[in-house]
Amino acid sequence: MSERYLATLETPALLLDDTRMQNNIDRMRSRMKELGVSFRPHVKTNKSIDVSRRLMDTSEGPITVSTLREADYFAGYGVKDILYAVCIAPNKLAHVTRLLQKGVQLSLILDSMQAAQRLVEFARGIDRPLDVLIEIDSDGHRSGLAPDAPELTEIACFLDASGINVKGVLTHAGGSYDCRSVEAIRAIAEQERLAAVTAATRLRAAGLACPVVSVGSTPTALYAEHLEGVTEVRAGVFVFFDLVMAGLNVCRVEDIAISVLGTVIGHQTAKGWTIIDAGWMAMSRDRGTDGQAVDQGYGVVCDIEGRPLEGFILKGANQEHGIIAHRSDDPSISPNLAVGDQVRILPNHACSTAAQYEEYNVLNDSNEVVAVWPRFNGW
Amino acid sequence: MSERYLATLETPALLLDDTRMQNNIDRMRSRMKELGVSFRPHVKTNKSIDVSRRLMDTSEGPITVSTLREADYFAGYGVKDILYAVCIAPNKLAHVTRLLQKGVQLSLILDSMQAAQRLVEFARGIDRPLDVLIEIDSDGHRSGLAPDAPELTEIACFLDASGINVKGVLTHAGGSYDCRSVEAIRAIAEQERLAAVTAATRLRAAGLACPVVSVGSTPTALYAEHLEGVTEVRAGVFVFFDLVMAGLNVCRVEDIAISVLGTVIGHQTAKGWTIIDAGWMAMSRDRGTDGQAVDQGYGVVCDIEGRPLEGFILKGANQEHGIIAHRSDDPSISPNLAVGDQVRILPNHACSTAAQYEEYNVLNDSNEVVAVWPRFNGW
């Protein structure tokens, strides 16, 4: 496509700064090299082959997905090595079969004997071995067995004895998103590593090879001091970063690669409000910074070139209306924007904001749209 | 299609109870008749021709939309009378032209002289008169001019003198969503009516016909005592209802027509958690009940037939994980759900949850899927 100016875009629209994204990717790659682990990027944040090609080691992967639709989509582009990192639900097994029949090397995860039994029943009806990892709980935030749970070896041995290929263990320290300091992230990274390695050690003592020890979250991947015993890292949000990550000091605000382009549609001058056509449908309802030191509302307001308008945030949002106001609520401080002026809003959470869109408008360093990359949503 | 059982659906999936929806529609229709006003349903909640056909008076409308993509989509099905109820942004005027060229009778809204001037400039380049309503602020929650603002008549007269067809005034008492009682809703409904009628009276005194006096929100439409001087009502969320509306006593929980089907994927027994494959991507990040008397978390948990599991809500959500727990957080109270069992989650906010999906699985009274109705999102 020929280059297009932002001013010609109908709003709201999702923008992607190519240079920022590439810098974020380079940073993660060099961390992986330093840590001596392989990288299995999580594509749930971007859901785009164009973005994911920048992340993958090879055109066949490996990648991590959060839905089987992601697996379908990436398999359609030739990606083969796919880890579906949500405990498998029995009603998805027919879908799993279709993916295996297409030649995808799909790994599943589970954390219970109930799920293991359902999987073994299912495996009897198919003609190839299933690859499974057992999910370990490293921080109490959602799924997984405790590293010292007796069920861990029971389940692994049951699967192994039933002809399932127990590839290893996996954990995700999602609790790192709630940290308040880099020191806290380092501590949770060590907790994540130790949980996975402890679980793997127990499986090996029980006679299983357990070749894969998989950990990951963007904060822990970037701040782990070492990852001894870990074989692979998963992370996804780093590719774009967001205000939640900036609030954790995992990135700077100026590293955030996606933003929402909106247009001023009116004012409530007495209140100091500037109203734009990007509301919660454009930003998502994610208020991830509300528990952080600095609450960014529905996002940080920038000018059309992406420079923050100091102190201005999207204070409120209706479905298709966003309300720009000064952080202080002082109505006399105005961003001086007229009807028709465009602004860019940096999002709280890259995964949820990007999921409101079907495409990325990719910007070069002159803020021209040089490509439009499709993305998808749903299941 | 032949009927399908819920158990055969891959999850998460969006369900729509046809009988509940039709009852909700019948209730609103009889209210409109009682109030003696015409009805211009807001289709932003449903974004589906199959749902909207049940709402519209005729196959050509009228309807209200929140995006021009909605206008495009419904125009593609022959809908002609469309009100775009967000102040027009200058970068959307080329799109407006395309809709007008297709024969759509599109009405626009604005609330400032800046926007009026941009519109008049644009109107010079097209060969048909534009229909415009002026937005009035009836409750201070977002856009609109105060009913007594001097600019109101200035803008209207400027538009009229410039050849724009000033159809009337419009207001939306979105503040009704924050009410705590039916009495408060009645009061805000009267405030909404009075603001619109006052503004219309001023325009008429200034010599403009002002044939349209448009108000609406689901709570005020259902509880207004009378709508003297109002010509049309807009409302959208009533078609499905949701927990926010139930929290306002505008509907009962058993009137909520949409729900998300999820599947149990594991447990954290010590905490009393049951984990399902419907997280915030499936429910949206909307936490609209958190300021209400009863915080419903990310939704109310029901069995597969749609009966609430007393006391259980979706307490937490990750991207693709939902955490079911008892409202009391007492880990000894369990819903007794096994891996593979399905549940239905009633959403906080119909507009945001439905927007996470591309289709409605329509249920008959036996909870069989009898149709799949597509919907769309984006701009």
Q: Distance (Å, rounded) from C-alpha B186 to C-alpha A85?
A: 49
Q: Distance (Å, rounded) from C-alpha A61 to C-alpha A68?
A: 16
Chain A partners of B319 at a C-beta cutoff of 8 Å?
Answer: 44, 66, 351
- Cβ contacts below 8 Å, chain A against chain B, sum to 181
Residues B110 and B81 in one domain: yes
Chain B partners of A320 at a C-beta cutoff of 8 Å?
Answer: 44, 66-67, 86
| Residue A113 maps to a domain | yes
Chain B partners of A66 at a C-beta cutoff of 8 Å?
Answer: 281, 319-320
CA distance A11 to chain B (A): 7
Closest CA in chain A for residue B378: A357
Cβ burial, residue A105 (10 Å; 0-12/13-18/19+): middle
Residue A60 in contact with residue A79, Cβ under 8 Å? yes
Amino acid identity of residue B199, one-letter, is A
Q: What is the pLDDT of residues B91-149, one digit of tens each?
A: 999 999 999 999 999 999 999 999 999 999 999 988 888 999 999 999 999 999 999 99
Tokens at A322, concatenated: 């966003």
ipTM (interface pTM): 0.97
Q: Residue range A41-58: average pLDDT?
A: 98
Tokens at B336, concatenated: 């007794």
CA distance A122 to chain B (A): 13
Tokens at A363, concatenated: 């910007």
Domain containing residue A202: 19-239
Tokens at A178, concatenated: 């709630």
CA distance B176 to chain A (A): 13
| Residue A379 maps to a domain | no
Helices H / strands E in chain B, number of each = 11, 18
Tokens at B101, concatenated: 């060229």
Chain B partners of A135 at a C-beta cutoff of 8 Å?
Answer: 266
B62 prior amide bond cis, ω within 30: yes
Tokens at B331, concatenated: 């880990």
pLDDT tier at B191, thresholds 50, 70, 90? very high
Tokens at A71, concatenated: 């697996």
Q: Pairing relation of β-strands B342-346 and B258-268?
A: antiparallel
| Residue A3 maps to a domain | no
Position B128 scores a pLDDT of 83
Residues A297 and A345 in one domain: yes
Does the beta-carbon distance from A286 to B285 stay under 8 Å? yes
> In terms of Cα–Cα distance, which of B240, B305, B250 is closest to B54?
B240
As a 3-state breakdown, chain B gives helix, strand, coil percent values, each rounded to 5, of 35, 25, 40
Residue A322 in contact with residue A262, Cβ under 8 Å? yes
Q: Distance (Å, rounded) from C-alpha B145 to C-alpha B142?
A: 10
CATH number at residue B97: 3.20.20.10
Strand ranges for chain B from DSSP E: 4-5, 13-17, 38-39, 63-65, 81-84, 105-110, 131-136, 165-171, 212-215, 232-233, 258-268, 273-276, 300-302, 308-317, 322-326, 342-346, 359-363, 368-374
Report the residue from A86, A110, A115 with minimal CB separation from B320: A86
| Residue B6 maps to a domain | no
Find residue B17's DSSP bridge partners: B363
| Residue B71 maps to a domain | yes
pLDDT tier at B38, thresholds 50, 70, 90? very high
Chain B partners of A287 at a C-beta cutoff of 8 Å?
Answer: 285, 287
pLDDT tier at A128, thresholds 50, 70, 90? confident
Residue B234 in contact with residue B220, Cβ under 8 Å? no
Which of B46, B86, B108 would you mutate first to test chain A, the one with the most A CBs within 10 A? B86
Q: What are phi and psi of B243, to 5 degrees?
A: -70, -30
| Residue A89 maps to a domain | yes
CA distance A286 to chain B (A): 5
Using only C-alpha atoms, chain A has a radius of gyration, in whole angstroms, of 22
Position A88 scores a pLDDT of 98
Residues B193 and B316 in one domain: no
Find residue A259's DSSP bridge partners: A15
Chain B partners of A7 at a C-beta cutoff of 8 Å?
Answer: 91
Q: Residue range A161-183: average pLDDT?
A: 94
Decide which of A214, A239, A264 is a domain's last residue. Answer: A239
Give the dihedral of Cα atoms A155, A156, A157, A163; nearest 10 deg: 110
Q: What is the pLDDT of residues A227-250, one digit of tens each?
A: 999 999 999 999 999 999 999 999
Tokens at A299, concatenated: 């996002």
Tokens at A9, concatenated: 């875009």
Q: Is the dihedral of CA A320, B286, B45, B278 positive or negative?
A: positive
Q: Residue range B295-305: average pLDDT?
A: 97
Position A220 scores a pLDDT of 97
Tokens at A55, concatenated: 């992340």
Q: What is the pLDDT of residues B314-366, one digit of tens each?
A: 999 999 999 999 999 999 999 999 999 999 999 999 999 999 999 999 999 99
pLDDT tier at B229, thresholds 50, 70, 90? very high
Does the beta-carbon distance from A275 to B87 stay under 8 Å? yes
Residue B144 in contact with residue B133, Cβ under 8 Å? no
Chain B partners of A265 at a C-beta cutoff of 8 Å?
Answer: 86-89, 115, 143
Separation of CA A44 from chain center: 5
The CB density around residue A293, as the number of other CB atoms within 10 Å, is 9
Residue A89 in contact with residue B11, Cβ under 8 Å? yes
Residues B183 and B260 in one domain: no
Q: What is the reported pTM? A: 0.97
Tokens at A231, concatenated: 């074989």
CA distance B236 to chain A (A): 12
Domain count, chain A: 2
Position A44 scores a pLDDT of 98
The CB density around residue B290, as the number of other CB atoms within 10 Å, is 11
Decide which of B240, B261, B291 is a domain's last residue. Answer: B240
Q: What is the pLDDT of residues A252-272, one digit of tens each?
A: 999 999 999 999 999 999 999
CA distance B109 to chain A (A): 10
Does the beta-carbon distance from B142 to A323 stay under 8 Å? yes
Residues B236 and B147 in one domain: yes
Does the beta-carbon distance from B10 to A280 stay under 8 Å? no
> Quick check: helix, strand or coil at residue A56?
coil
Find residue B214's DSSP bridge partners: B170, B232
Report the residue from A67, A95, A277 with minimal CB separation from B89: A277
pLDDT tier at B180, thresholds 50, 70, 90? confident
| pLDDT more than 90, % of chain B | 95
Chain A partners of B379 at a C-beta cutoff of 8 Å?
Answer: 10-13, 282
Amino acid identity of residue B216, one-letter, is G
Q: What is the pLDDT of residues B63-94, one digit of tens each?
A: 999 999 999 999 999 999 999 999 999 999 99
CA distance B235 to chain A (A): 14
Does the beta-carbon distance from B339 to A9 stay under 8 Å? no
Chain B partners of A142 at a C-beta cutoff of 8 Å?
Answer: 268, 275, 316, 318, 321, 323
Residue B193 in contact with residue B231, Cβ under 8 Å? no
Report the residue from A140, A143, A282 with minimal CB separation from B266: A143
Closest CA in chain A for residue B136: A268
Report the residue from A86, A323, A358 with minimal CB separation from B265: A86
Find residue A17's DSSP bridge partners: A363
Q: Is the dihedral of CA B362, B368, B369, B370 positive or negative?
A: negative
Does the beta-carbon distance from A358 to B378 stay under 8 Å? yes
| Residue A282 maps to a domain | yes
Q: Which residues contact B149 (CB under 8 A, 6 or more apart)?
A: none
Q: Distance (Å, rounded) from C-alpha A1 to C-alpha B258?
A: 41
Residue A121 in contact with residue A102, Cβ under 8 Å? no
Which of A10, A69, A353, A357 would you mutate first to test chain B, the one with the most B CBs within 10 A? A10
Q: Distance (Å, rounded) from C-alpha A234 to C-alpha A44?
A: 11
B308 prior amide bond cis, ω within 30: no
The CB density around residue A209, as the number of other CB atoms within 10 Å, is 13
Q: Residue range B300-319: average pLDDT?
A: 97
Q: Assess whether pLDDT exceeds 60 at residue B1.
A: no
Residues B122 and B148 in one domain: yes
Amino acid identity of residue B106, one-letter, is L
Q: Residue range A355-373: average pLDDT?
A: 97
Residues B162 and B45 in one domain: yes
Does the beta-carbon distance from B340 to A137 stay under 8 Å? no
Residues B236 and B257 in one domain: no
Does the beta-carbon distance from B13 to A88 stay under 8 Å? no
Position of tokens 């949980």? A195
Strand ranges for chain A from DSSP E: 4-5, 13-17, 38-39, 63-65, 81-84, 105-110, 131-136, 165-171, 212-215, 232-233, 258-268, 273-276, 300-302, 308-317, 322-326, 342-346, 359-363, 368-374
Chain A partners of B263 at a C-beta cutoff of 8 Å?
Answer: 89-91
Residues A262 and A123 in one domain: no
Closest CA in chain A for residue B286: A285
Q: Pairing relation of β-strands A308-317 and A359-363?
A: unpaired
Q: Distance (Å, rounded) from C-alpha B345 to C-alpha A162?
A: 35
Position B129 scores a pLDDT of 87
> Quick check: helix, strand or coil at residue B70?
helix
A125 to A40, A90, A129, A156, A305: CA distances (angstroms): 30, 14, 11, 20, 57
Q: Assess whether pLDDT exceeds 70 at residue A291.
A: yes
Residues A55 and A135 in one domain: yes
Tokens at A8, concatenated: 């010609």
Q: Which residues contact B127 (CB under 8 A, 6 or more apart)?
A: none
Q: Assess whether pLDDT exceeds 60 at residue A1.
A: no
Does the beta-carbon distance from B10 to A92 stay under 8 Å? yes
Using only C-alpha atoms, chain B has a radius of gyration, in whole angstroms, of 22
Find residue A58's DSSP bridge partners: A61
pLDDT tier at A2, thresholds 50, 70, 90? low
The CB density around residue B148, as the number of other CB atoms within 10 Å, is 10
Report the residue from B11, B143, B351 with minimal CB separation from A91: B11
Chain B partners of A8 at a C-beta cutoff of 8 Å?
Answer: 91
Residues A215 and A298 in one domain: no
Position B2 scores a pLDDT of 62
CA distance B68 to chain A (A): 10
Q: Residue range A126-142: average pLDDT?
A: 94
Does the beta-carbon distance from B91 to A7 stay under 8 Å? yes
Chain A partners of B280 at a C-beta cutoff of 8 Å?
Answer: 286, 352
Give the dihedral of Cα atoms B206, B211, B216, B222; nearest 10 deg: 120
Residues A102 and A203 in one domain: yes
CATH number at residue A296: 2.40.37.20
| Residue B1 maps to a domain | no
Decide which of A202, A217, A239 is a domain's last residue. Answer: A239
Report the residue from A44, A339, A379 with minimal CB separation from B118: A339
Angle at the Cα of A179 (from A301 to B332), degrees rounded to 5? 115
Report the residue count for chain B: 379
Tokens at A191, concatenated: 């907790």
